[in-house]
Amino acid sequence: MKLLVRVDEQQGQLEIEQEGGRWRFRLEREGLETVNGDASVVEVEPGIYSVLWNGASFEAKILWESSKGVVDVGPEHFVVEASDPREVDTTRHGSAAGSRHEVVSPMPGKVVRVLVEEGQEVTVGQGIVVVEAMKMQNEMQSAKAGRVTSVRVKAGEAVAGGEVLAVIE
């Protein structure tokens, strides 16, 4: 499973696989070293986990609500948000009924096609830009009906995760 994550305002991409009580993960964050790991995770009480990672034992307390949560590991306290990169992000860039919506790239990739032009009227769920990342093409869609006020990319361009591709008002 791949997720876009924000940990204490630092954006990144988390890839996780679970096999029983074993978890493999890879966390990539801009400007920071990539973290790869293999951990044993057991829920000992609701919201409290025993974690064995790199020969050390941790207790993690997780309070999760929708796509946001708080994680406490010993004295460390982290505010975490996670989302599926295939879903349109309406929370960070305005709701469908809001005045402005920024269509963003869920991860680093290459723009394959731009499906709209500036000034064009669009509907909810209409394709805006197609980005190829990790050999998969993802169509970024509009979360609101409105007019495209800005297209910030062209076919063939490389884009970063979180980069604004187009703006709809």
Residue 169, amino acid = E
Percent of the chain with pLDDT over 70: 89
Domain check: are 163 and 106 in the same one? yes
Beta-bridge partners for 18: 23
Looking at the structure, do residues 64 and 117 belong to the same domain, yes or no?
Answer: no
**Strand, coil or helix: 117:** coil
Could you tell me the residue range of the domain that residue 105 belongs to? Answer: 101-168
| Paired tokens of 15 | 């890839």
- Verify that 105 and 154 share a domain, yes or no: yes
Q: Are 69 and 109 members of one domain?
A: no
Q: How many domains are there within the chain?
A: 2
Q: Are 16 and 42 contained in the same domain?
A: yes
DSSP class of residue 91 equals S
pLDDT digits (tens, 9 = 90+) for 3-47: 888 887 778 888 888 887 788 988 887 778 888 889 998 889 888
End of a domain among 24, 57, 83? 83
What torsion do the CA atoms of 64, 67, 68, 72 make, to the nearest 10 degrees?
50
How do residues 39-81 score in pLDDT, each as one tens digit? 998 889 888 889 898 888 989 898 877 667 788 888 888 888 8
CATH assignment of the domain containing 42: 3.30.700.30
Best CA proximity match to 72, nearest among 85, 63, 82 = 63
Does any domain span residue 34?
yes
Helix (H, G, I), strand (E, B) or coil at 32: coil
Same domain, 16 and 57: yes
Q: Which residues lie across from 43 on neighbouring strands?
A: 49
User: Residue 80 forms beta bridges with which residues?
Assistant: 7, 69
Both tokens assigned to 154: 């062209």
Q: Does 150 lie in the same domain as 78?
A: no
CA dist 24 and 13 (Å) reads 14
Looking at the fold, whether 106 and 65 belong to one and the same domain comes out as no
**CATH value at residue 137:** 2.40.50.100
The verdict on residue 74 lying in a domain is yes
